[in-house]
Structure 1
Amino acid sequence: MKVIAEEQWSYVLFEDREVGLITVLLGGVVNLDVTVQLTPSELSMARSDAKFAGELAASIRSNMENFREREVRPPVWPK
């Protein structure tokens, strides 16, 4: 697994065998983590734009329902 971008206590965006994944910590009463598989265009953007991962993490936090069909369970963390 190759980490592309990360922000401590927020998200980690990484690649595993050409598949892009982002694991995001969701705030609230209980901290939860969620992993979403990236589309090829999202992975390309993450590789070329340093700000993209943070923007994507914020989008996931604000409306996880838009990403639910791409959710990976259980959440994945790079080793």
Structure 2
Amino acid sequence: MLKKISEEPWSYTLYQDGEKFIISVLCGTSAMYETTIELTKEEIEALKENGAAAIAAKVREQKSKYAKRNITNFQHPK
């Protein structure tokens, strides 16, 4: 079951579903959009060491690197 475990408004929301972690990052400047990815094992380790804000910053800075992994039509749980 997907549950929200961390959030920074207007920046990111981090979810966990069992062993999976999914982060939804708000990107853009005048045109805002979300990039939502499932974290890899390496990214989960970085999350534990540096926090979700660091992962979100990487996604924003390297949008093209993460674009292929974007989960389209992601439904945020209520």
Q: TM-score range by the shorter chain?
A: 0.7 to 0.9
Normalized against structure 1, the TM-score is what?
A: 0.78
Pair 1:38 & 2:55 matched: no
Instruction: For residue 65 of structure 2, give the secondary structure of its aligned residue in structure 1.
Output: helix
Pair 1:19 & 2:20 matched: yes
Which amino acid counterpart does residue 31 of structure 1 have in structure 2? Answer: M
CA distance in 1, matches of 2:36, 2:75: 6
Higher relative contact order, chain-length normalized (CA < 8 Å, sep 6+): 1
Unaligned runs of 5+ in 1: none
Q: CA deviation at 1:53?
A: 0.6
Percentage of matched positions with identical amino acids: 32
Q: CA deviation at 1:18?
A: 2.6
> After superposition, what is the alpha-carbon deviation per residue over 1:22-67, rounded to whole angstroms, capped at 9, x for unaligned?
0011132211112011002323443x34x42101101111111111
CA distance in 1, matches of 2:27, 2:74: 12
Normalized against structure 2, the TM-score is what?
A: 0.79
